Amino acid sequence: MPPGPTKTLLVLSATFPPDAPAVGQHMADVGEAMAARGWRVVVVAADRAYDNPAIRFPAREIYRGMDVRRVPFASFGKRSILTRALGMAFYLVQAMAYALCVRNVGAMIVSTSPPLCGVVASIARLVRGVPFLYWMMDLNPDQIVALGKARPSSPLVRIFDAMQRFILRRAARVVVLDRFMADRLRRKHDPGDALLVIPPWAHDEPDQPLAHGDNPFRATLAPPDSFVVMYSGNHGYSTPVSAMLDAAALLAQGDATDRRALFVFVGGGVRKGEVDERLRTTNPPNVKSLPYQPLERLRESLSAADVHVVTMDAHVVGMVHPCKIYGAMAIARPILVVGPDECHATDILWGGSIGWHARDATPHAIAESVRAAMRTPAADLASMGLAAKRLADTKYARATSLGRLCDELESIAGAGQVAASEHPRATP
């Protein structure tokens, strides 16, 4: 008897490598691991970069064993809410076509980026019976309400909440990133036994830390005696960008030791423009701004820091997750957490003695924490970094979290037992 058709995992993610956002990189890791388990993996992504729509990617390619289909008109940049909404709408319509037409789909995986991608998966489940894993990278509309961007009673918030309930009732698995997110979700829309907590992981796991003397990125970035304080990743609405810039200004006015501090902002996001505007208007001597770095340079970029800043706004604990902490830990650098006592970043910090904590996101608190880091002997900084790497390699190991996600995908596919081949549509 000939073997049955290979099961297909359908990955719906508007961002995908070589695009820089972390969501796409995590989706690529899952897809690659499932391909290694013998699955056919089809990815539906946007054909233009998330931050810079002038950058265009191939319409179709095989990437790390995955069949990547990139759809047009799915990214118009982030100039306004309207352009972002248009891009999301065009992406979702095209993703729906794939969700309804790709043959032999055993499981789907979607995240909260773009928002409402879970609606596509939910409709596909209703129509075709295909189970899906809902990977909640953030909780909305909770976040936009907490940040004052929308009123809890507004019609859009109520519609968004209703859509989230629609998705959560139909997801075979709901994965959140930390205990705070799980607690909040249980209080609001309890998914019951479908809910799992699986932390994300670093995208780069070098065998050995990259020393400053061996790092060409560091050599071009900063003078040899600089103390590099790096914020790398998305500069979101809740990121205290102004406070970090003002902390840099305080240190620039200090003594010779204070003036060693160099604040480096790497990445993009809605508040990255504040960094560039400060550089344009006042040209501070101890601030630099860099775009997202290619994945192949991530090790060099992250290793250029002496300390990495990880922030968490007290208002959005349980709604967002400090994903950037894992990359810093993986390259053996200590961490400065700016945020409340109770959050996932401080759980990690206090569990491993790997850095410093500024409870208040004020310029003075951040500057004092940077001073404490600069006063720390080099040997102690190295010990903190190695302790962070041990945590990344054990408790937050990529193999552990990635393996659990893949196991759950195979589990829901086995439980679903609904063959996509029963739906005789043409394969896109």
Strands 261-268 and 287-290: parallel
Q: pLDDT: is 82 or 123 the higher one?
A: 123
* Nearest-angstrom CA–CA distance, 215 and 366: 27
**Per-residue pLDDT tens for 225-249?**
999 999 999 999 999 999 999 999 9
Q: What is the pLDDT of residue 353?
A: 87
- Please count the CA atoms within 13 angstroms of the CA of 355 that sit on its side-chain side: 30
| H or E stretch covering 119 | helix 117-128
- Write out the E strands in 40-124: 40-46, 60-63, 66-71, 105-111
CA 413 to chain centre: 26
Q: Do domains 8-201+397-422 and 212-393 have the same CATH topology?
A: yes
Q: What is the pLDDT of residue 374?
A: 97
Q: At what angle do helices 117-128 and 155-170 cross, to 10 degrees?
A: 40
Closest listed residue to residue 326, CA positions, set 96, 111, 25: 25
Per DSSP, the three-state class of 126 is helix
Q: Where are the domains of the chain?
A: 8-201+397-422, 212-393
Q: What is the pLDDT of residue 92?
A: 94
* Nearest-angstrom CA–CA distance, 233 and 294: 12
**Per-residue pLDDT tens for 140-192?**
999 989 989 899 999 999 999 999 999 999 999 999 999 999 999 999 889 99
Answer positive or negative: Cα dihedral of 51, 41, 98, 169.
negative
Which of the four pLDDT bands, split at 50, 70 and 90, describes residue 424? very low
Radius of gyration of the chain (CA): 22
Phi, psi of 143 (to 5 degrees): -65, -45
Q: Are 229 and 368 in contact (CB under 8 A)?
A: no
Phi, psi of 31 (to 5 degrees): -60, -45
Which of the four pLDDT bands, split at 50, 70 and 90, describes residue 287? very high
Q: What is the pLDDT of residue 118?
A: 96
Of 3-7, 113-117, 136-140, the least confident: 3-7
Q: Are 370 and 247 in contact (CB under 8 A)?
A: yes
Q: pLDDT: is 81 or 41 the higher one?
A: 41
In one-letter notation, the amino acid at residue 147 is L
- Alpha helix segments (H runs only) across 54-116: 81-101
Per DSSP, the three-state class of 304 is coil
Of 195-209, 331-345, 375-389, the least confident: 195-209
Mean pLDDT, the chain, whole residue set: 91
Answer whether residue 194 shows pLDDT above 80. yes
Closest listed residue to residue 185, CA positions, set 163, 200, 165, 160: 165
Q: What is the pLDDT of residue 206?
A: 53
8-201+397-422 topology per CATH: Rossmann fold (3.40.50)
Q: What is the pLDDT of residue 54?
A: 84
* Nearest-angstrom CA–CA distance, 69 and 427: 12
Residue 405 has which token pair?
Answer: 């996600």
Cβ neighbors of 198 (< 8 A, separation 6 or more) are 175, 176, 177, 401, 404, 405
Answer whether residue 359 shows pLDDT above 60. yes
Q: Are 289 and 272 in contact (CB under 8 A)?
A: yes
In one-letter notation, the amino acid at residue 167 is I
Answer whether residue 340 shows pLDDT above 50. yes
212-393 topology per CATH: Rossmann fold (3.40.50)
- Alpha helix segments (H runs only) across 147-271: 155-170, 179-189, 216-221, 241-252
